[in-house]
Structure 1
Amino acid sequence: MSVLTDVQQMEEDLRHRSEKLNVEFKAWMDISKANKDGQAKIARHIAAIANSGGGRLYFGVDDDGNAEPRAEAFPLEHFKSDAIHNLLKTRLEPGLQCEVRFTEFTNGVTYPVIHIPPHGATPIGAKDENSFMHVYVRSVGPESVKISSYQQWDTILKRCMRFRDVEAIQTREEDELTRTQAMTKAITESVTASVLKILAENMSPAAAVIPGVDWTTIVALMESTRREFISQIGALDFGTTETDQQVREIAGKHVVSGYALLDAESNFLTLERPHKLLKTASEEMNHVASFGWHDFIVLTNSDVSPRTRLWSIDGKDITGVEGMRVDSRSVYFGEYDYWRAYGNSVFVTTKSYREDYHRLKGRVDHPFLTSVNIFIRMHCLLAHAAITTANVPDAEKIALVTDHRGLKDRILGRGMDYGLRVHTHLKAVEDRYSTRLVVSRAELLEDYFGTLKRLCVPILEIWGGSSFDPEDWFTRGIVDQIVSELRREGSTVRLLDEEAETDPPANTV
């Protein structure tokens, strides 16, 4: 079976209209606050699909599965992520985080698609047009109906119990992880103290040695994460399409990014309650760096929720939390990713380049990265680092590292058009490029933009020259303009120091 793109998934959903209970089609419609009936219908369908295991809701498609022409009365802005989530926030209980994607279909029209996850530990209730709460499920038709039978309740409650079992297992795993890490740290500190005491007693006085960042361990953990990512890509069941070939090439074309939380002496910290920390960070990432997806995302589906793991890396047993695995996904939305949060507070994520997807989609004849996507990737990493740092009081230093692979011969595209305009025609000479940066807690939390610039500029300097100066390009005004354009496209983007924003200049990105 081939890996599906979002367009191919839409083709399949439209072709099998009468056979799928997990897909709902809606014509272009008013979902504003003024239309309570419209909002109630969308909330009902989303709740029913979530309560039936998750699925998709398409706008601009009629009941027979025919993609309609563009409706000028309802611009795409009308269906952006913020609008959908504001609707759900007022009409669903408990809350549900959906993914809103815009799919440019084969007829040249772009359609909003809401990707709906399964419910969590409790069923999702939806308010009707009179604000009465009901529990809905999917039924033959397909249609969304109120639960009316014992069998329907039995099915949904069994699924809720499975999710609660997973949560209980995660709690036990987390407790064991915390105990193991605390024991390991105590033993290490005891042994280190004994060695230092012996050295002090048997050696002449010498200048104190200030410990540095243990990059060797960080790089080893990054490499282990990267190798697992590659093995998951290789395990996919490939077909013969151009998309399949592109996914195969991800093994050599991807970026590994990570950060470590350190104390004042540059020692690793022990992650306490990592599941809770990751969930808190993921919820906040939805508001500051969500592009339909974000780094270290914590999903509520019991099949793909983060799990505690034990890895043997460089001869050492390392505990941590593993994110969603690539091989559990069958649809290619332009980017694959896989992450780990290690017990020693090292966070690593590996992902493909979204630019490669858009190169194939747009039939661009040259490989490229874009300054906008570099900003997106670095902002996602740094925002997560800042959020976790704020929630870990002992974190005094943050070590950030990136490792880009598959860069050779790429040029640097500009703006939001994915390689059709360029900053410079200079090509990357090396295939691999790595960066390292250590910042203090205060620098990260009090000068977010300055830290972001320090993280981005070294990568952009690969293409620096007489026609493109990364230092001059990466200004607050230009970045604010990028953020504004991303928001207009439906992404939820916000720098963590918005009070410093300035008015963006026009046509400079």
Structure 2
Amino acid sequence: MPIQLSPERLADLLIDPRESLDLEIKNWLDLRNDNDAKAIFAKAALALANHGGGFILLGLTETESGCVEAEGRPASLDGYTQDVINGIVQNYSDPAFHCAVHIVARGDDRLFPVVVVPGDHRSPVRAKRAGPHGNIVQDNAIYVRKPGPRSEVPTSGQDWDALLARCLANRRDEMLDQIRDLISGAVPAAALPAAPAKLDQWIEQCLARWDALVANLPADAPERCPHGFHYFAYELSGDLRAIPPGQLPALLQRSVARHTGWPPFWFPTRRGIEPYPIDGVVECWLGGDTEPGTFGQRDAAHSDFWRISPEGYAFLLRGYQEDGLEQRPPATLFDVTLPVWRAGEVLLHAEKLAANLIDGPATVSFAVHYRGLAGRSLTSVTGDRLLFDGHVARQDAITMRTTVEAASVAPNLPEIIHPLLAPLYGLFDFFDLPMVLVNEELGKMRKGNF
């Protein structure tokens, strides 16, 4: 069955895009007639596939002030169909893989092709042919993503270790998925919960800081999430490394777990929304965008407020994406899949941050809070989940907690998230969160199939 994708999630990719290890930006490549253009695209796709998946945005170019449309927009976007894209991949890739292609509207309603490159490969992907005249793509070459960002062949033991470790992890995940098909409901043993006092203090400090930032905004300003919000907070315990302040930005950028177009703890670089140091932590508020003509134009779902402390604390507050749907008024819907995706993304972020901040074993104390639930109906925004009407929440807020070993997050993500979020779904007239839904949605998220 084809995966139904949310236009809102895809459109997130086009909001202030910047090239990164998992995102390539290309101009209007003529993928039908220009063999060099085909090779350029193929090289990017091969490198992203070996990187663990990612995205290629076509028709844009980067400038000092941000991404703008590239010159030479074709009269039709027929040259960017799924058949054209996958024909190129088939010609260059061994083993071949399938890319999803979407034509997505940017904020100004201009349409751009977005290519989703999968990254769940169990062995390195190589080029089975060279580009025109032996240029751009080399025969039998393996390409990976490197800082810059750029697509190149592995040249160090570290490059090869990362690539092979990713392939082995995909094999492990496939094996675990097969086991889950046979045995469902097993929850990994969690470490003894740490005393919540410090995490609660951290949450209170972050909420107070957010309240101060939005205090002067109008009551109905989207940036202050007038219809409710959810937040994720966690505390990492272990042997913390001493990180010089100047190294924090790069460390936090490496810790972003980008599985969707709008990842948690996104680290923007554009003036007006870039993170900044304050009170010994790193803080970012997208709702305070100072770029001329942008302040007051963000919706609640794209006005993230986050803070990360080098002491191992993190906090992210975000409004409801469902409240931005044109066909329904705000504060009426609650999507059945989004909490699973969001909790999965933040837990994977905690795992990556722990690897960058802590030497040796680490424990994650995790808290999730939803507010503004009363009166919302459980639904499937994308329409790919069959739900009967009538699941309505009457309780307005709920907080859920868990404590796990950081090393157990990736291999046991469904078993962690299912019991964590089950009480949230139960508020909607005793809705029983199916384990199969958690498994399937996390599988889509981790493969980039959003």
Give the TM-score range, shorter chain.
0.5 to 0.7
CA distance in 2, matches of 1:373, 1:386: 20
Show the counterpart of 1:191: none
Contact conserved, 1:233 with 1:251, CA < 8 A, in 2? no
Once the two structures are superposed, residues 369-403 of structure 1 have per-residue CA deviations (whole angstroms, 9 ceiling, x without a partner) of: 11211111101110111112233125542110012
Matches within 5 A, 1:28-427: 29-30=30-31, 35-37=35-37, 49-57=61-69, 62=73, 71=78, 74-75=81-82, 78=85, 103-104=104-105, 111-112=112-113, 213-233=194-214, 247=222, 250-263=225-238, 272-273=243-244, 276=247, 279-280=250-251, 282-283=253-254, 285-286=256-257, 289-301=258-270, 304-310=273-279, 319-328=280-289, 330=294, 332=298, 334-357=301-324, 359-360=325-326, 362-363=327-328, 367-391=332-356, 392-414=358-380, 416-417=382-383, 422=387, 424-427=389-392
How many residues are aligned here? 332
Contact conserved, 1:399 with 1:439, CA < 8 A, in 2? yes
CA distance in 2, matches of 1:75, 1:234: 47
Secondary structure of the structure 2 residue equivalent to 1:344: coil
- State the shift of 1:327 in Å: 1.1
Q: Which amino acid aligns with 2:342?
A: R
CA distance in 2, matches of 1:490, 1:58: 27
**For residues 112 and 363 of structure 1, do their structure 2 counterparts lie closer, same or farther at Cα, with a shift above 3 Å needed?**
farther
Structure 2: tracts of 5 or more residues without a match:
1-9, 15-24, 45-56, 93-100, 116-131, 137-191
Contact conserved, 2:282 with 2:308, CA < 8 A, in 1? yes
- State the shift of 1:363 in Å: 3.3
CA distance in 2, matches of 1:109, 1:49: 14
Contact conserved, 2:27 with 2:59, CA < 8 A, in 1? no
- State the shift of 1:349 in Å: 0.7
Show the counterpart of 2:425: 460
Secondary structure of the structure 1 residue equivalent to 2:62: helix
Contact conserved, 1:259 with 1:385, CA < 8 A, in 2? yes
- State the shift of 1:341 in Å: 0.8
CA distance in 1, matches of 2:380, 2:103: 21
Secondary structure of the structure 2 residue equivalent to 1:377: helix
**For residues 302 and 426 of structure 1, do their structure 2 counterparts lie closer, same or farther at Cα, with a shift above 3 Å needed?**
closer
**For residues 110 and 282 of structure 1, do their structure 2 counterparts lie closer, same or farther at Cα, with a shift above 3 Å needed?**
same
Secondary structure of the structure 2 residue equivalent to 1:390: helix
- State the shift of 1:431 in Å: 1.4
- State the shift of 1:448 in Å: 2.8
**For residues 365 and 377 of structure 1, do their structure 2 counterparts lie closer, same or farther at Cα, with a shift above 3 Å needed?**
closer
Secondary structure of the structure 1 residue equivalent to 2:225: helix
Q: Percent identity?
A: 15
Show the counterpart of 1:160: none
CA distance in 2, matches of 1:272, 1:433: 35
Q: Which amino acid aligns with 2:81?
A: F
CA distance in 2, matches of 1:76, 1:378: 34
Whose radius of gyration is greater, 1 or 2?
Answer: 1
CA distance in 1, matches of 2:31, 2:395: 51
2:432 aligned to 469, 478, 483, which one? 469
Secondary structure of the structure 2 residue equivalent to 1:295: coil
Show the counterpart of 1:482: 441
- State the shift of 1:460 in Å: 1.9
- State the shift of 1:447 in Å: 2.5
Structure 1: tracts of 5 or more residues without a match:
1-5, 11-22, 87-99, 115-127, 133-210, 239-243, 311-318, 492-509
Once the two structures are superposed, residues 398-425 of structure 1 have per-residue CA deviations (whole angstroms, 9 ceiling, x without a partner) of: 110012111111111136239x963552
Secondary structure of the structure 1 residue equivalent to 2:400: strand
Contact conserved, 2:335 with 2:380, CA < 8 A, in 1? yes
- State the shift of 1:339 in Å: 0.8
Secondary structure of the structure 2 residue equivalent to 1:220: helix
- State the shift of 1:215 in Å: 2.5
Contact conserved, 1:408 with 1:430, CA < 8 A, in 2? yes
**For residues 252 and 103 of structure 1, do their structure 2 counterparts lie closer, same or farther at Cα, with a shift above 3 Å needed?**
same
Show the counterpart of 1:444: 409
Contact conserved, 1:400 with 1:438, CA < 8 A, in 2? yes
Show the counterpart of 1:428: 393
Q: Which amino acid aligns with 1:37?
A: A
With normalisation by structure 2, the TM-score equals: 0.57
CA distance in 1, matches of 2:58, 2:245: 30
With normalisation by structure 1, the TM-score equals: 0.51
- State the shift of 1:285 in Å: 3.8
CA distance in 2, matches of 1:348, 1:455: 17
- State the shift of 1:258 in Å: 0.8
- State the shift of 1:479 in Å: 3.8
Once the two structures are superposed, residues 415-442 of structure 1 have per-residue CA deviations (whole angstroms, 9 ceiling, x without a partner) of: 6239x96355221112111112122345
Contact conserved, 1:255 with 1:351, CA < 8 A, in 2? yes
**For residues 58 and 408 of structure 1, do their structure 2 counterparts lie closer, same or farther at Cα, with a shift above 3 Å needed?**
farther
CA distance in 2, matches of 1:383, 1:293: 14
RMSD of the TM alignment (CA)?
5.1
Once the two structures are superposed, residues 318-359 of structure 1 have per-residue CA deviations (whole angstroms, 9 ceiling, x without a partner) of: x211135421262536422111112431111111111111x3
**For residues 450 and 423 of structure 1, do their structure 2 counterparts lie closer, same or farther at Cα, with a shift above 3 Å needed?**
farther
Higher share in helix: 1
CA distance in 2, matches of 1:274, 1:412: 43
